[in-house]
Structure 1
């Protein structure tokens, strides 16, 4: 009996080891030449990337146990009882669009952005489960997306904020890579795309505060307070970021994942005001307050970056924390009502126009 248990445990360990060694989901590792360039970054020390502020990334065993129990324990309303309202968009609509700057939300942090005739995807996690294996994560709330990857037309650029599974998805990149002209990401993330056979000439990595231009647009890689990693041994081996997209008519901010800190004020001072800001609001917990914002902090972050309109994101698609699925949007809108700000709360797939002065926020989640 004891021998059988030992054999079973050894077999499980071997399977896990082999999976982590050979599954492409875990991505790649930076080359020695790449690491040599990272050492020139102020954010890279002792072999890993660092936040500007001292951030505690490791939970105690007690907190880790509470987190795991809370996640797997059946809790009311952490997921919707049915698919969320969704508006479909067809490929011709995307391919032929030449109008004012618009965005389409796919839930969580994924967006289709179209401006000045260019089509951009932001954090294109279009898979069903944000994990290295379907059995290890919670399935997307909706069975459908506004448009499938297969029906997406040519994409001019993809912006990636960091390498966590709910923002960088192997299957999505594999399906997109031949449709995309260029990928932009923080330092280190390119190693994953290279592992996934993306042409190295289509990959640009940027450090915080670095700018680049693309077909008349300006992309700025800006700070965030978070962390990175896809496996057990690559914590903080790649950088995380927020992004700014500037056209001749619009100034747009995307927060990526971030805890609340003074970098929002720095971004607002240097690049604000913003016509539209998509700011993280979801998957928070008092056990990790420095790497994800509470909804009240999301409102303040929007004020800090000097956003004319604020949209709460990082909710509405996956269960990655123990709060109810509507808690982020309910707390955000309640707090926003006490401030002089304009809130944007679209359904998944609904068109968003940063310069639209007639938009009225809707409480569709109720």
Structure 2
């Protein structure tokens, strides 16, 4: 029940999830819930073309739940056992020394994945952090939500050097973590976030001048870099009654000679091909690949769809993310990477890389491709 609570609550708004969150989070007024956009902000959102009746909308019709009734979905979570839903022990990981992050040349392009979607991107001499979730547990009800497979991360948030920008895809707890933000907020130049998420950050003490809210198509310029918000197909909300009150996004990171893409969370859709036409090709794409289910088939991709998304955006290298940290769906913990690897073999122009947690992927160098997620797990790699 614990490992399934997050997705059940977020996708169904079910009675059990409502009661638990209301009783625990709201009773104690947890700061994890964040803030709410102001009336003036909501009026401004309505001018963007994808905000109606108090909610942001996807580009194509999207159902959050596609697999039946709330009661039926809850019954599955309570009664069905999934083989190998969690690994037998901690996953292999490689410590990341903060000194190696600060000592670099502008030509270096390096991506380090920490598990789930949190990743460090070093490009054009700048440090970018994607979806800052570097805690062991998540949300205001941590006894009920999934716990990270590994009790230790490749780097602690307080060890990170100054960050030119933090890029957030949406406001779910497994992508925007209150505790991580508290530990890094004073070393971040800009929090680049979809519309509405600024309210969360302001509630958490982030200085407004360090927050840049964007809609799809907006860009943020840093020295040597352009960061562009592009569509995704998902939903948002951190508490009761605020479903879709903030926007969700994918991100393009463009330097003079390198282009990266991060899908954020979301289902497969026509937006990937359009992103590929407008902003591709990409040297590397970090692609959501995990936590899928037939019951929410339009808001998370199956692994084969993840590979197709990488092809649509015209990526040369695909780095699967959104796995390797938490169990939030009814599939084996490593099923997504197994299926994605198999699907990618049919496309020789697409390379798939599967680094250990904390193992850097350096563009222009040999890609990590060891199938460490098969067979016995080894805990640490120096």
Q: TM-score if structure 2 supplies the norm length? A: 0.89
Per the TM alignment, residue 17 of structure 1 is displaced from its structure 2 partner at its CA by: 4.6
Q: Does the 8 Å CA contact 1:165/1:230 hold for their aligned counterparts?
A: yes
Superposed CA RMSD: 1.7
Unaligned runs of 5+ in 1: 1-11
Tell me how far apart the structure 2 counterparts of residues 213 and 66 of structure 1 sit (CA, whole Å): 48
Question: Structure 1 residue 364 and structure 2 residue 372: aligned?
Answer: yes
Per the TM alignment, residue 67 of structure 1 is displaced from its structure 2 partner at its CA by: 4.5
C-alpha change, 1:18 and 1:133, in structure 2 (3 Å) is: closer
Tell me how far apart the structure 1 counterparts of residues 196 and 186 of structure 2 sit (CA, whole Å): 21
Please, which of 335, 342, 345 is the counterpart of residue 334 of structure 1?
342
Please, which of 198, 207, 219 is the counterpart of residue 206 of structure 2?
198
Per the TM alignment, residue 187 of structure 1 is displaced from its structure 2 partner at its CA by: 0.6
Tell me how far apart the structure 2 counterparts of residues 75 and 266 of structure 1 sit (CA, whole Å): 36
Unaligned runs of 5+ in 2: 1-17, 375-382
What CA deviation, in whole Å up to 9, does each residue of 1:43-71 have, x standing for no partner? Answer: 1011100001111124522433234325x
C-alpha change, 1:289 and 1:117, in structure 2 (3 Å) is: same
Higher relative contact order structure (alpha carbons within 8 Å, sequence separation ≥ 6) = 2
What CA deviation, in whole Å up to 9, does each residue of 1:307-347 have, x standing for no partner? Answer: 01111110000001010001000000011111222111111
Query: In terms of mean alpha carbon deviation, does 94-103 or 119-128 score higher?
Result: 94-103
Q: Does the 8 Å CA contact 2:111/2:119 hold for their aligned counterparts?
A: yes
Alignment of 1:312-327 (within 5 A): 312-327=320-335
What CA deviation, in whole Å up to 9, does each residue of 1:76-134 have, x standing for no partner? Answer: 21111111110001121112222511011001101011112111100010011233221
Tell me how far apart the structure 1 counterparts of residues 208 and 43 of structure 2 sit (CA, whole Å): 18
Per the TM alignment, residue 354 of structure 1 is displaced from its structure 2 partner at its CA by: 2.7
Alignment-derived partner of residue 13 in structure 2: none
What CA deviation, in whole Å up to 9, does each residue of 1:185-208 have, x standing for no partner? Answer: 111111100110100000001101
Alignment-derived partner of residue 230 in structure 2: 222
Query: In terms of mean alpha carbon deviation, does 270-279 or 88-97 score higher?
Result: 88-97
Please, which of 88, 93, 99 is the counterpart of residue 92 of structure 1?
99
Tell me how far apart the structure 1 counterparts of residues 104 and 21 of structure 2 sit (CA, whole Å): 48
Tell me how far apart the structure 1 counterparts of residues 148 and 19 of structure 2 sit (CA, whole Å): 28
Q: Does the 8 Å CA contact 1:309/1:354 hold for their aligned counterparts?
A: no
Per the TM alignment, residue 74 of structure 1 is displaced from its structure 2 partner at its CA by: 4.6
Tell me how far apart the structure 2 counterparts of residues 352 and 15 of structure 1 sit (CA, whole Å): 39
Q: Does the 8 Å CA contact 1:63/1:287 hold for their aligned counterparts?
A: no
Question: Structure 1 residue 353 and structure 2 residue 359: aligned?
Answer: no
User: Which structure has the larger Rg over C-alpha atoms?
Assistant: 1
Q: Does the 8 Å CA contact 2:355/2:368 hold for their aligned counterparts?
A: no
Q: Does the 8 Å CA contact 2:154/2:358 hold for their aligned counterparts?
A: yes
Alignment of 1:298-313 (within 5 A): 298-313=306-321
Alignment of 1:32-47 (within 5 A): 32-47=39-54
Per the TM alignment, residue 177 of structure 1 is displaced from its structure 2 partner at its CA by: 0.6
Per the TM alignment, residue 228 of structure 1 is displaced from its structure 2 partner at its CA by: 0.2
Alignment-derived partner of residue 133 in structure 1: 141
Q: Does the 8 Å CA contact 1:127/1:169 hold for their aligned counterparts?
A: yes
Per the TM alignment, residue 209 of structure 1 is displaced from its structure 2 partner at its CA by: 1.3
Query: In terms of mean alpha carbon deviation, does 251-260 or 36-45 score higher?
Result: 36-45
SS at the partner of 2:186? coil
Query: In terms of mean alpha carbon deviation, does 56-65 or 192-201 score higher?
Result: 56-65
Tell me how far apart the structure 2 counterparts of residues 18 and 333 of structure 1 sit (CA, whole Å): 41
C-alpha change, 1:63 and 1:292, in structure 2 (3 Å) is: farther
SS at the partner of 2:200? helix
SS at the partner of 1:267? helix
Alignment-derived partner of residue 16 in structure 1: 22
SS at the partner of 1:253? strand
Tell me how far apart the structure 2 counterparts of residues 286 and 203 of structure 1 sit (CA, whole Å): 36
Alignment-derived partner of residue 69 in structure 1: 78
Alignment-derived partner of residue 255 in structure 1: 263
Question: Structure 1 residue 287 and structure 2 residue 298: aligned?
Answer: no
The number of aligned residues is 352
Alignment-derived partner of residue 8 in structure 1: none
Please, which of 5, 8, 27 is the counterpart of residue 34 of structure 2?
27
Query: In terms of mean alpha carbon deviation, does 129-138 or 314-323 score higher?
Result: 129-138
C-alpha change, 1:13 and 1:239, in structure 2 (3 Å) is: closer
Tell me how far apart the structure 2 counterparts of residues 297 and 18 of structure 1 sit (CA, whole Å): 37
